[in-house]
Amino acid sequence: MLVDSHCHLDFPDFAEELDAVVERARRNGVGRMLTICTHLTRFDRVLAVAERFADVYCTVGIHPHEAGSEPAAEVERLVELSRHPKVVGFGETGLDYFYDKSPRERQRASFRTHIAAARATGLPVVVHTRDADDDTAAILAEEMEKGAFTGLIHCFSSGPELAAKSISLGLYVSLSGILTFKKAEALQQTVRGLPLDRLLVETDCPYLAPVPFRGKRNEPAYVGHTAAKLAELQGVDAAAVAAATTANFHRLFAKVPG
Ligand SMILES: [Zn+2]
Ligand SMILES: [Zn+2]
């Protein structure tokens, strides 16, 4: 069994055929899917997807792109929404200095709010980081000093320093279809050296379809292609990667039934 630890099943890309998309994932051995909230104002839709399918769970939070346009997240509100049995984590939050769609100060404040909710509940925080390694590492370390929390860096595409820092803080690293891209040699080199007991796989669909689907709409059924690349890089077989990434997912997202 595989787990798609990060997908966006509420996006309009899937609206026409959501049942078929979930069914294809199951047929391809994907036993759990975590659909990720990006807008607090659209949380109801995300939760509705998780409620519709027994094997789909969700998070609650605000993407860094929306940190400037959405009403600011409050710790109490996030904590309250996370009491629902299908809500198993916070985010996605973090820092995106590549697109800079929201003021950086708002991104940082929102990031810290999500971490506070994670700390208060024991549920993990899903971190998005792009072109912001230094600030992401600094905030994670500072916040960890204030009190422990769990989480992961999703769609990891940063350098080895952020991977090492995150793992040393007790966090996990999730790999997307980027890992299969020809030009991702630096990332592949980094991933060779990471401990398999801290790694997860994801699609981040509808974006970032792995080879051989690159450029097409992505979906959870394709997560096995990223897992296969991870197996090759780690020098283990596909079954070992499936077992490890699934066990890691359940250790981190402990609220999801096994
Ligand atoms: Zn993201
Ligand atoms: Zn995402």
Ligand lying closest to the C-alpha of residue 10: 2
Distance 214 CA to ligand 1 centre (A): 18
| 258 inside domain | no
Distance 177 CA to ligand 1 centre (A): 13
Ligand lying closest to the C-alpha of residue 93: 1
| CA triple 145-150-151, angle to 5 deg | 115
Q: Identify the CATH number of the domain in which residue 233 sits.
A: 3.20.20.140
Q: Is 90 helix (H, G, I), strand (E, B) or coil?
A: strand
Tokens for 59, please give them: 């998070």
Convert the pLDDT of each residue in 125-176 to its tens digit. 999 999 999 999 999 999 999 999 999 999 999 999 999 999 999 999 999 9
Ligand lying closest to the C-alpha of residue 96: 1
| 257 inside domain | no
Neighbours of ion ligand 1 (CB under 5 A): 92, 128
Tokens for 233, please give them: 């890089």
| 80 inside domain | yes
Neighbours of ion ligand 2 (CB under 5 A): 36, 204
> Looking at the whole model, is its pTM more than 0.85?
yes
pLDDT at 218: 98
Give the domain range for residue 75. 2-252
With 90 as the cut, is the pLDDT of residue 258 above it? no
Average pLDDT of the chain? 97
| Cα–Cα distance measured from residue 104 to residue 217, given in angstroms and rounded to the nearest whole number | 30
206-235: average pLDDT: 97
Q: How many domains does the chain have?
A: 1
User: What is the share, in percent, of the chain residues with pLDDT greater than 70?
Assistant: 100
